[in-house]
Structure 1
Amino acid sequence: MKNRRLKIPLVFAICLSFQSVLLAQGNGVAGISEATQMVTSYFDPATKLIYAIGAVVGLIGGVKVYNKFSSGDPDTSKTAASWFGACIFLIVAATILRSFFL
C-alpha cells in the first residue's frame, strides 16, 4: 500500500512534465515557421540584386573585351569566355538558390 501512495504522485508529476514539453513544442513550431517566412521574404530582392550585379559584371566585361579586341591582343577570346562565364554563373547561382529555398 505504501508503494502505491508513492506511485500516484510520481505518475502525476510525469504527466505534468510531459504537458509542459508538449506546450513548448507548439511555441517552437510557430517560431520556426515565422523564421522561414522571414528568410523566404528576402529571396526576391536578393535574386534581383544578383541579377543586377550580373548585368554590371557583363557590361564591365564587354568593355574590357572590346578594349582588348581594339588593341589587337590575341588573348581576347580567353578574356571574353571568362567574363561571359562569370555572368552565366551569377545568373544560374541565383536561379538555383531561389528554386532550392522557395
Structure 2
Amino acid sequence: MIYAIGAVVGLIGGIKVYNKFSSGDPDTSKTAASWFGACIFLIVAATILRSFFL
C-alpha cells in the first residue's frame, strides 16, 4: 500500500517539477530534490515498518 502511495507521490512530483522546468523557474532543482527525498523516505519507511512487523 505504501509503495503505491510512493508511486503516486512520485508521479505528482515529476509533473510539478516538469511544469516548473517548462516555465523557466530557477528553483527547479530544489523542488526536484525535495520530491525525490519524499519518495525515498516513503520507500525506506515502508521497508523498516515491514521488518518490524514480520
* TM norm. shorter chain > 0.5: yes
TM range (shorter): over 0.9
Q: CA RMSD in A?
A: 0.5
**Structure with a larger share of its residues in helix:** 1
Larger Rg: 1
Q: How many residues align?
A: 54
- Deviation at residue 81 of structure 1 after TM alignment: 0.4
Q: Distance in 2 between matches of 1:60 and 1:101?
A: 29
In the alignment, which residue of structure 1 is the partner of 2:51?
99
Trace 1:12-91 onto structure 2 (pairs within 5 A): 49-91=1-43
Q: Distance in 2 between matches of 1:51 and 1:95?
A: 10
Deviations 1:9-41 (A, max 9, x none): xxxxxxxxxxxxxxxxxxxxxxxxxxxxxxxxx
Which fold has the larger relative contact order, with Cα–Cα distance below 8 Å and residues 6 or more apart in sequence?
2
- Deviation at residue 100 of structure 1 after TM alignment: 1.4
Identity %: 96
The runs of 5 or more residues in structure 2 that have no matched partner are none
- Deviation at residue 101 of structure 1 after TM alignment: 1.6
- TM-score, normalised to structure 1, is 0.52
- TM-score, normalised to structure 2, is 0.97
Q: Distance in 1 between matches of 2:22 and 2:15?
A: 10
Q: Distance in 2 between matches of 1:52 and 1:85?
A: 16
